[in-house]
Amino acid sequence: MSQRTRLALAFTATLALGAALPPVFRGSVLRMQRSGEMEGTLSGPLRRASADVALAPAAVGGGLIFNGADDAFISLGGQQGQLPREELHVGALVSVETPRRWGGIVGAVEDNAEAETGWVLGYDDSAFTLMISTEATDDGDGKLITLRADQPYEFGRLHLVTASYDGERAELTMDGVVVASSDAPGGPILYSGEERLTVGAYRDVNEMFPHDGRIAALEIFDTPFGGKLAFRKRFGAANPTPWTDATFDWRVQPYLTWPSTDAVSILGESTWPSEAVVLFRPESQAGWTEVTSGTPGSRLHEVRLEGLEADTKYFYQMNLIGAAKGDAVPVLEGPLRSFRTAPDSDESAFTFTVIGDTQTNGAVAKRVSDLAFEQRPNFVVHCGDLVDTGGNKTDWTETFFPSMRPLIEHAPLVPVLGNHEQDARLYYDYMSLPAPERWYSLRYGAAEFFMIDGNRSLGQQSEQLAWLEGALAASKAKWRFAVLHQPPYTSDSNDYGDTTKTSSTRGDMNVRNIVRLLEEHGVDICFSGHVHDYERTFPIKDGAVRPHQDGGVLYITAAGGGGSLEDFDGTNTWFGNRKARRHHHLHVAILGDDLELQAMDEDGRVFDTLRLRAR
Ligand SMILES: [Fe+2]
Ligand SMILES: [Fe+2]
- The domain segmentation of the chain, as residue ranges, is 7-236, 250-340, 349-613
Residues 6+ apart with CB under 8 A from 534: 556, 557, 558, 559, 560, 578, 579, 580, 581, 582, 584, 599, 607, 608
Choose among 576, 591, 518: nearest CA to 551. 518
Are 325 and 331 within 8 A, CB to CB? no
Q: How many CA atoms lie within 13 A of 150 on its CB side?
A: 7
Å from CA of 200 to ligand 1 middle: 33
Protein residues near ligand 2, an ion, with CB under 5 A: 385, 418-419, 530
Å from CA of 298 to ligand 1 middle: 31
pLDDT at residue 71 in the model: 73
pLDDT at residue 21 in the model: 34
Å from CA of 357 to ligand 1 middle: 5
Please list the rounded mean pLDDT of every run of 10 residues in the chain (615 residues).
Answer: 33 32 50 74 55 71 78 71 86 86 92 89 93 91 94 85 92 92 90 89 88 87 65 61 68 97 96 90 96 85 96 97 76 96 94 97 97 98 96 88 98 98 91 96 97 96 96 97 98 92 94 97 98 98 97 98 96 97 98 97 98 97
Q: What is the CATH number of domain 7-236?
A: 2.60.120.200
Amino acid identity of 128?
A: F
Q: How many CB atoms lie within 10 A of CB 167?
A: 17
Å from CA of 360 to ligand 1 middle: 9
| For the CA of 360, the nearest ligand | 1
Q: Tell me which of 3.40.630.10, 3.30.1330.40, 3.40.47.10, 3.60.21.10 is the CATH number of domain 349-613.
A: 3.60.21.10
Å from CA of 391 to ligand 2 middle: 15
Å from CA of 449 to ligand 2 middle: 20
Å from CA of 561 to ligand 1 middle: 9
pLDDT at residue 47 in the model: 53
Å from CA of 446 to ligand 2 middle: 29
Q: CATH says 250-340 is which class?
A: mainly beta
Å from CA of 384 to ligand 2 middle: 7
pLDDT at residue 20 in the model: 36
Å from CA of 82 to ligand 2 middle: 47
pLDDT at residue 193 in the model: 87
pLDDT at residue 18 in the model: 31
pLDDT at residue 226 in the model: 54
Terminal-residue alpha carbon distance, the chain: 69
Are 485 and 417 within 8 A, CB to CB? yes
Å from CA of 418 to ligand 2 middle: 5
Choose among 508, 522, 537, 500: nearest CA to 448. 522
CA dihedral 572, 574, 578, 579 (to 10 degrees): -40
Å from CA of 531 to ligand 2 middle: 7
Query: What pTM, to 2 d.p., does this model score?
Result: 0.76
Which 3 state secondary structure label does DSSP give 215? strand
Residues 6+ apart with CB under 8 A from 183: 168, 169
Choose among 78, 31, 41: nearest CA to 196. 78
| For the CA of 419, the nearest ligand | 2
pLDDT at residue 10 in the model: 33
Q: d(Cα 588, Cα 353) in Å, to the nearest integer?
A: 6
Å from CA of 323 to ligand 2 middle: 39
Å from CA of 385 to ligand 2 middle: 6
| For the CA of 387, the nearest ligand | 1
Q: d(Cα 443, Cα 446) in Å, to the nearest integer?
A: 8
H-helix or E-strand containing 93? strand 88-94
Å from CA of 359 to ligand 1 middle: 7
| For the CA of 558, the nearest ligand | 1
| For the CA of 454, the nearest ligand | 2
Å from CA of 481 to ligand 1 middle: 20
Are 249 and 332 within 8 A, CB to CB? yes
Cis peptide before 406 (omega within 30 of 0): yes
Are 607 and 601 within 8 A, CB to CB? yes
Å from CA of 395 to ligand 1 middle: 14
Å from CA of 356 to ligand 2 middle: 9
Å from CA of 478 to ligand 2 middle: 30
pLDDT at residue 68 in the model: 75
For strand 250-257 and strand 264-282, is the pairing parallel, antiparallel, or unpaired? antiparallel
Are 349 and 377 within 8 A, CB to CB? no
Q: d(Cα 478, Cα 594) in Å, to the nearest integer?
A: 10
Q: d(Cα 263, Cα 476) in Å, to the nearest integer?
A: 21
Alpha carbon distances (Å) from 206 to 111, 202, 367, 463: 9, 11, 28, 48
Helices (H), ranges, 431-506: 463-474
